Amino acid sequence: MKHGPQLGFDDDGRPVLITAAAPAYEEQHRARVRKYLTLMAFRIPALVLAAIAYGVWENGLISLAIIVVSVPLPWIAVLIANDRPPRSAEEPRRYAARRTPLFPTAERPAIEQRPQGAPQHDGTAPIDDFPS
């Protein structure tokens, strides 16, 4: 069989990916775990570097700056690890979001409307709900 770029093979004879399908979930997960571990791998060396910097320069501000930079690393690593590829336009929505206005207007109907034939209380005499 003839191999070449015109038949979908690369220079090494491996087939070229020609689909527009998303990568498998396992591949996405592995990539996210790698990013998480890479970011977290900087945390412990940063703390060690802060101790070394204090021993060398005897300046607490440099060590404190290194520690302050390393504090948000776990939070950033978790955000990146939990991120997923953006939704495609064809992917169905899981819920229908209803948008409510920030400031309600006076055009909304009353909460409780009385029926047309119901007697209205004028406030002059007490209402007796229980007949005696």
* Interval 81-120: pLDDT, tens: 888 777 777 777 776 667 776 776 666 556 666 666 655 5
Beta bridge partners of 9: 15
Who contacts 127 (Cβ-Cβ below 8 Å, separation ≥6)? 121
Domain coordinates in residue numbering, the chain: 25-82
Q: Which candidate, 80, 72, 73, places its Cα nearest to that of 42?
A: 73
Amino acid identity, position 14 = R
Q: Which candidate, 21, 18, 41, 128, places its Cα nearest to that of 85?
A: 21
The mean pLDDT value for 12-30 works out to: 78
